[in-house]
Amino acid sequence: MHFHDDSLHPENQEKLVIQAAPYGPEWLPEDSDDIPVTMDEQVQKAVDCYNAGATALHIHVRELDGHGSKRLSMFNELVGRLREAVPDMVLQIGGSISFAPEEEGADAKWLGYDTRHMLAEITPRPDQVTIAINTSQMNIVDILTDDDIEGTSIAKPAYYQAYRDMYLEAGPEFYLEHLKRLQTNGIQAHFQLAHLAQLETVERLIRKGIYTGPLTLNYVAIGGGFAGRHPADLIEFIRRVPDGATLTVESSFRAVAPMNAIAIALGAHVRVGNEDNLWGRKGERMTTVEQIEQMVKIADALHRDIATGPEAKKIYKLGEYYDSADETLARLGMVPNRRPGQRGFMLREV
């Protein structure tokens, strides 16, 4: 993204979209009193997040036994109820469905391709489904301290090892078919990217005309094969993101607030919630709603406006698709593809 001299002036930045992730698929209900279990509780949590200032909702679904649901019928029910309860929110399904182990000692893993592809068939359809690009280690405990997980199920050796050894499989066989199904069903892909190599893969998909649409991204700084917390890495990723893309910063535990403060100052968007963090000050629990309220306060201190639900949908360019690689490149503010025989560096076309 290109920064003009006035790009840090909040009146020139997009309004802030706060993405809430309040369903914590890696946690068990006893890990926090902020985990909704019943369908009514899951719907109410969305209402609470919206009322606090969040306009995008990252969705996982939980069964009554407390474990993450893998039943598409449950996703159908929750999305249907959310359409009525929070009609202005951007509804975003977490593409992992649930990577949490069902019992102590079981593997923590993403489900198979056929199940993940079924997310494109949810009725009523969500606005977005998150999609990972390129197979990667996903050791979510690598960057955590003992204080982060003290008193939770992840502190148990068997669960800890399950998350330490987890990886996500998202090679071309998966993402080429998944992108096709999402676009066919009018669902926007929300790319979850760990580092620049994955961003470069997405650019190649655009340049080949495989992906033709708005570019919505999460920079995922959770360590263990994904980005870490070094501010320079975040700044370089922001610099490399196309001007016409929408970027949200996602991190973990007590680094969420400082990483998001940087994002807000630079004009990017933020994600908070118990899926990423349970803590405020060291040793003090913080709910998803309280984390949203904290982002509102930081944005207010920096004089950056908060997007309404309809404004968030406009920022994400929901419902837009483009006809070709050339149009997509132009809409995203990227330089065009090289023409046969053309030499030198490419210039953006007028």
104 contact partners, CB below 8 Å, separation of at least 6: 153, 156, 158, 159
Is pLDDT at 27 greater than 90 in this prediction? Answer: yes
pLDDT at site 10: 97
Is 146 in a helix, a strand, or coil?
A: helix
Name which residue leads in pLDDT, 111 or 272: 272
Q: How far apart are CA 214 and CA 164, in angstroms?
A: 34
pLDDT at site 286: 97
Percent of the chain with pLDDT over 70: 96
Confidence band for 105, pLDDT divided at 50, 70 and 90:
low
pLDDT at site 109: 63
Least confident of 100-104, 141-145, 233-237: 100-104
pLDDT digits (tens, 9 = 90+) for 182-198: 999 999 999 999 999 99
C-alpha distances (whole Å) from 160 to each of 113, 140, 211 are 25, 9, 37
Is pLDDT at 287 greater than 70 in this prediction? Answer: yes
C-alpha distances (whole Å) from 305 to each of 54, 212, 258 are 12, 30, 19
9 contact partners, CB below 8 Å, separation of at least 6: none
Confidence band for 248, pLDDT divided at 50, 70 and 90:
very high
Closest CA to 167 of 195, 145, 138, 141: 138
Is pLDDT at 75 greater than 80 in this prediction? Answer: yes
pLDDT at site 100: 63
Is pLDDT at 348 greater than 90 in this prediction? Answer: no
pLDDT at site 127: 98
Helix pair 256-266, 288-301: axis angle to 10 deg: 40
